[in-house]
Amino acid sequence: MKTLWQHCHVATMAQGAYSIIEDAAIVTSGAHIEWVGPRSELPSGDFAAVNDLNGAWVTPGLIDCHTHTVFGGNRSDEFEKRLQGVSYAEIAASGGGIASTVRATRVASEEQLFASAARRLKSLMRDGVTSVEIKSGYGLDLANEGKMLRVARRLGAELPISVRTTCLAAHALPPEYKDRADDYIDHICAEMLPALAAEGLVDAVDAFCEYLAFSPEQVERVFITAQKLGLPVKLHAEQLSSLHGSSLAARYQALSADHLEFMDEDDAIAMAKSGTVAVLLPGAFYFLRETQLPPMEALRKHGVKIAIASDLNPGTSPALSVRLMLNMACTCFRMTPEEALAGATIHAATALGMADTHGSIEAGKVADFVAWQIDRPADLSYWLGGDLEKRVVRHGVETSL
């Protein structure tokens, strides 16, 4: 059953650029794009439905490739403390930070976690997001990491959004392993990852490589286990200091290395070689009032693909809008609106290992796209949040929330 979508301009985002088709038409067949091109070249055919998009700009559905959407509680109390001068690292060292969200997540039921995460996810979706990555990492034991990942899977099953799960068991040290980080890494490698993977809950494996989390040696052990299980890896790296986690990630052909404010040019060269995407998280940069900028020129010079994500989490980026992140990527990191949009579409798809099917508007790909009533694509990173008029199509079907 074919559907025609017309009276629109398309920013296809093929090859990481706008790749604009003016006065375009899109033909979908079921969940896939069958044809896209100038309306004047539309092949004749029988269409079960014809949609007039009223001059909209069509882009791929936005892809948020780094989120911690599932968690208990929130940390606005710590936000207030930080504004009084206490640092993120100090709060973490005194038992707050990630540890406080771990406590709240462990006592929450699957039902409670689902309800609060669904609210946050719907906010992202109302902003044009059709695919999202969701990490565990606030359970830090087998039962609670499993609980988080099951909630993530259920979100993907019950809401019109594609969910990729990432196991982030190596996010922080759980209290029961205090001063025994190597033992916890052993436990992740011997018990947690194999069990969670066997349950089909894990699409990728992540870790937090930082002086206040895990060392490169510990992360490498997690990567080796992931590799044995046939799972791709990614890494929180170079957010607060330079441990060259991004080069380590590149050595393991990581899908992405994320944050990266403190990475250097050698890290960029390593990532370019392995095709590891640089996922920049301007929400966390902004919310922590960081000043160290990611090395944009080195990333560009060496041709590293750059993605932008919300990092939606209760501690460092309570961000409910990917478009707001696009704006911050432009204002804080000096990205162009075109780079930013590529970062939330085609390059985000690469960071999730799904670029063969998602991230651009091309024949053969999944029909996930948004028809925005805007004047030009740069409007998507120009408006600071708000609710832009749009129609969201996922798997060839218009969604409503």
Residues that bind Fe ion (CB under 5 A): 311
Which residues 6+ apart lie within 8 Å of 337 measured at CB? 326, 330, 377, 378, 380, 381, 382
Partner whose footprint covers residue 105, from ligand NIG, Fe ion, none (CB < 5 to 8 Å by kind): none
208 binds ligand NIG (CB under 6 A): yes
Closer CB to ligand NIG, 98 or 163, in the complex: 98
Do residues 10 and 26 make contact, with C-beta atoms less than 8 angstroms apart?
A: yes
Closer CB to ligand NIG, 128 or 315, in the complex: 315
> In the sheet that 49-60 helps form, which strands lie side by side, from edge to edge?
32-38, 20-29, 2-11, 49-60, 369-372, 390-394, 397-399
Dist CA 256 CA 353 (whole Å): 9
What is the nearest approach in angstroms of ligand NIG to the Cβ of residue 37?
40
Site string for ligand NIG, 78-117 (x = CB under 6 A): -------------------xx--x----------------
Q: Of 29-37, 299-307, 309-317, 334-342, which segment contacts ligand NIG by CB under 6 A?
A: 309-317
Dist CA 124 CA 32 (whole Å): 23
Buried b (16+ CB within 10 A) or exposed e, 380-401: bbeeeeeebebbbbbbbeebee
236 binds ligand NIG (CB under 6 A): yes
What is the nearest approach in angstroms of Fe ion to the Cβ of residue 162?
19
Closer CB to ligand NIG, 147 or 365, in the complex: 147
What is the nearest approach in angstroms of ligand NIG to the Cβ of residue 103?
12
Record the tokens describing residue 286, joined without a space: 């902004």
Which residues 6+ apart lie within 8 Å of 258 measured at CB? 66, 234, 235, 236, 237, 278, 279, 280, 281, 309, 311
H or E element: which one contains 2?
strand 2-11
Record the tokens describing residue 389, joined without a space: 């008029």
193 binds ligand NIG (CB under 6 A): no
Partner whose footprint covers residue 97, from ligand NIG, Fe ion, none (CB < 5 to 8 Å by kind): ligand NIG
Partner whose footprint covers residue 239, from ligand NIG, Fe ion, none (CB < 5 to 8 Å by kind): ligand NIG
What is the nearest approach in angstroms of ligand NIG to the Cβ of residue 317?
6
Distances (CA, A) of 359 to 17, 98, 342, 364: 12, 31, 8, 12
333 binds ligand NIG (CB under 6 A): no
What phi, psi does 362 have (nearest 5°)? -145, 150
What is the nearest approach in angstroms of Fe ion to the Cβ of residue 71?
11
What is the nearest approach in angstroms of ligand NIG to the Cβ of residue 288?
8
Site for ligand NIG in 261-290 (CB under 6 A): 284
Residue among 311, 338, 339, 368 that touches ligand NIG (CB under 6 A): 311
Closer CB to ligand NIG, 314 or 396, in the complex: 314
- DSSP annotation string for 186-237: HHIIIIIHHHHHHTT--SEEEEEESTTSB-HHHHHHHHHHHHHTT--BEEEE
Q: Give the residue carrying structure tokens 């089909």.
A: 200
Q: Residue 399's beta-bridge partner residues?
A: 392
Q: Of 30-38, 308-316, 332-340, 380-388, which segment contacts ligand NIG by CB under 6 A?
A: 308-316
Closer CB to Fe ion, 114 or 285, in the complex: 285
329 binds ligand NIG (CB under 6 A): no
Site for ligand NIG in 158-177 (CB under 6 A): none
Residue among 218, 313, 350, 381 that touches ligand NIG (CB under 6 A): 313
Dist CA 87 CA 235 (whole Å): 23
Partner whose footprint covers residue 232, from ligand NIG, Fe ion, none (CB < 5 to 8 Å by kind): none
Distance of CA 393 to the CA centre of its chain: 19
Closer CB to ligand NIG, 239 or 381, in the complex: 239
Rounded to 5°, the CA angle 194-196-197 comes to: 65
Q: By the criterion CB under 6 A, which residues form the site for ligand NIG?
A: 97-98, 101, 208, 236, 239, 284, 311, 313-317
